[in-house]
Structure 1
Amino acid sequence: MINPPIALYYMQGLNTTAVHAHGALYGVYGTLGLGLMLFCLRAMKPNLIWKEKPIALAFWAINIGLMLEIVLSLLPVGLLQTYQSVANGYWSARSPEFLQTTLMQNLRWLRMIGDTVFAVGAIAFVYFALGLMLRRKARLEVPVPVPEQV
């Protein structure tokens, strides 16, 4: 949507860029970083039994929160700015007269819903990770299998 030159002429630097940045940057590096951290935590203490509820909450809340940020706020603001840019010029889409309208302010405030859900997920992830790192005793009832020696 934002890569053809004519689209870039009207849309680059508006909130459509923020939609791409939030979705792509978190989707690539954020998810990869969290996954790598979980991989390392599993390798550090392989005998611990994971409490799956906090990590499941973290997964769903982070992803749903990011989607809500984009769908409720960033994308509508970006599309309205794009329309304003095409109709009246790029300067108009970035002007205080347009950005301070009641509709635009309400759309920006709607982002708090997604941000809050995302924050709940981040807190759940930190709780899960700290719980793994601070636990000292392994609670594994089944012994870890050892390969047979020939």
Structure 2
Amino acid sequence: MSTAAAPVRQLDERTVSELREAAEQILAESDTSTPSPPLLRRVEQAAAAFGDALRHHCRPVDTADGLFVLRGIDVDDDALGPTPDDWATAGESGARYDVQLLLLAAVMGNPSPGRASRTAGSSTTSSPRPGTRASRPAPAAPCCSARTPRTPSTPAAPTC
């Protein structure tokens, strides 16, 4: 991989609003933010309704390294609170952001929520052998936010 800077695609306020509102609507209509076939079907439907602006930002990668930075998702660190010591105690504090990332992944096509919903809850009777790769690659996150616990001397973590 080259050491060249990855291209940055900046989401505009209207597109960020569209993404946030879709995530909030999905959460309002769902019993949980845990990925389930009904939630993933709703994500797929919402992603199909997005306008051209978001699709343009999420277009296939046009770099040799196969990556880009998607910037502009509004993250409310105060509402999220500090990073929990144990993720089991996190509750639903990041649910909207989880659904926003699912929406972005659906628009990007990696992974396809339709494909994920058909396999959600499935199981296998065999496990991969040590030293072999899983049959399916892990999905790439369309955006990340390095969050660390905040203290009075620690500034807010960077966001996308």
With the length of structure 2 as denominator, give the TM-score of the two structures.
0.23
Higher helix share: 1
Q: Which of the pair has more CA radius of gyration?
A: 1
